[in-house]
Amino acid sequence: MNELTPEEAHVIVDKGTERPFSGKYYEHYAPGIYVCRRCEEPLYRSEDKFRSGCGWPSFDDEIPGKVKRVPDPDGRRIEIVCSNCGAHLGHVFTGEMFTIKNTRHCVNSLSMKFISRSEDDS
């Protein structure tokens, strides 16, 4: 497990949320993969990322088996966590019609680390 900064721990461990439009990966569209900041498990492919305008990185699909969905205690939203280490990623929403897949994973940049395709291929 990677050591987390206090800000990362607030999001990943305490299930906090970074400020909208402030995350490192909000407007980031380079080819590669996004991995869990805590355990480095691959979570999302860059080709599944899209512009939603919501203020956080948005993906309409995850790498199969890598993201677990957990209902929030109040039942109003579905939390998404890393299936390997349980790190809080954000929430998933359906029915918004942003993409053909009709799914939006709204993910905190602090929950992820990006590995560019050129680094990935080396």
36 given a catalytic annotation: no
* Catalytic position from the list 39, 82, 85, 106: 106
Strand order in the sheet with 58-59: 49-50, 58-59, 103-107, 88-94, 78-82, 67-71
Alpha carbons 116 and 108: distance in angstroms, whole number: 18
Residues with a known catalytic role: 106
